[in-house]
Amino acid sequence: MALQFAQFNWPEWIRDIFSAETAFWLSIAILVGGAVLAYLIWKYVHVFLENAGVPAAVEGTPFERTAQGLGTSTAGIVATLAAIFVYLTMLLISLSVSNLFESPSLGPRLTGYLPSIFVAAIALMIGLIAGDKARLSVSERLRSIKMPEASIIPELVKYSIVYLATLVALGQLGIATSALLILLGAYALGIVVLAGLALKDLLAAAASGTYLVLTQPYGIGDEIQIEDKQGIVQEIDLFVTHIENDEREFIIPNQRVFRSGIVRIRD
C-alpha cells in the first residue's frame, strides 16, 4: 500500500484540481492539522500504553532507567516517536502540495518510506526492552548457581534478542535478505563457539550433578570431605554442592566432586 501511495503522484493531482494559491493555503492547513494530529497521537498513545500496563512491564530494565534519566519513560518515547512520524508525514505532504520539492515524485517517495523507518525504530526498541527483561528473568532463575560461567547466559540471551530485533529493523530499511541470512548464520556460529568455550565447565557441572542426583552418594546433613574441604552438606543442586563447617561455607562445582571423589565421615 505504501509503495502504491509513493508511486502515485498525488501532489500533482491536487495541484491540477486547485489553483496554486489554493494549493499553498491547503498545504498550510495540512501543516497545522498535522501539528494538532501529532499532539493527539502523542497524548492518546501515551494513555493507551499506560492503560495496557507497559510501564509495569518495562520497570527495572536499563532502557526504562535510561529513559527516566532523560526525564521521560518508555511509553513516552513510543508516544513521541508516533507523534514525530505523524507530523513528518504531514509535513512532507504539505511540502509536496506546495510544490517545494525540486523533484515532483520526491515527496511521495519520502512519505511512503516513513512507515518503514517508524516500524524499524519500534522493532529495535522492543528488542532492547525484551532483551533486558529476558536477561533479568534468566539472571533470577540462575541466581542460585554460584559459578562465574553462569553469568554469561543472561547476556547471551539478551544480545540474541537484540540481534534478531536489529535484523528485523534492517529488513524494514530495505537491507537485502541474503545479507541478513549471512549475518544471522555468522552470529549463530559465533554463539555456538562462544558457548562451547565459555560454558564447558557449566555443562560438565550439570552432567556431574545429574549423576550425583541419580546415585546419591551423599545427602543433606552428611559430613563429607571433598579435596581439602570438609563440612556438613547443606544443599545439592544440578551445578554445585554446598557444605559448611563451623567457620566456613564451601560452594563446590559438581564436576570437582565427580573428579576428586568424596570422603564420607562417620562418627
Percent of the chain residues past pLDDT 70, beyond the cut: 76
Residue 262, phi then psi, degrees to nearest 5: -130, 140
| pLDDT single digits (tens) 223-234 | 888 888 888 888
Q: What is the pLDDT of residue 23?
A: 67
Q: How far apart are CA 266 and CA 145, in angstroms?
A: 29
Alpha helices in 52-105 (DSSP H): 54-57, 62-69, 74-97
Task: Give the DSSP H or E segment for 244.
Answer: strand 240-244
pLDDT tens by residue, 24-70: 777 788 888 888 988 898 888 888 888 878 777 777 777 778 878 87
Rounded (10°) angle between helices 106-141 and 74-97: 170
- Dihedral angle computed from the Cα positions of residues 35, 37, 40 and 44, in that order, rounded to the nearest 10 degrees: -130
d(CA 159, CA 131): 7
With both helix axes pointing from N to C terminus, report the angle between 74-97 and 62-69 in degrees, rounded to the nearest 10.
70
Share of the chain above pLDDT 90, in %: 0
Residue 161: name the closest of 183, 133, 185, 194 by CA.
Answer: 133
**Read out DSSP for 20-73?**
HHHHHHHHHHHHHHHHHHHHHHHHHHHHHHHHTTHHHHTTT-HHHHHHHHTT--
pLDDT value at residue 58: 76
Tell me the pLDDT of the chain averaged across its residues: 75
N- to C-terminal Cα separation, the chain: 82
Higher pLDDT, 5 or 148: 148
Q: Give the domain ranges of the chain.
A: 2-143, 203-264
| Average pLDDT of the residues in 249-266 | 79
Q: How confident is the model at residue 4 (pLDDT cuts 50, 70, 90)?
A: very low
CA separation for the pair 61, 75 (Å, rounded): 13
252: closest CA among 30, 218, 266? 218
Which of the pair, 177 or 39, is modelled with greater confidence?
39
pLDDT at 12: 58
Q: Kindly give the interhelix angle for 20-51 and 74-97, rounded to the nearest 10 degrees.
A: 170
Residue 15 reports pLDDT greater than 70 = no
3.30.1490.100, 3.90.1310.10, 3.40.50.300, 2.30.30.60: CATH of 203-264: 2.30.30.60
For residues 212-238, give the mean pLDDT: 81
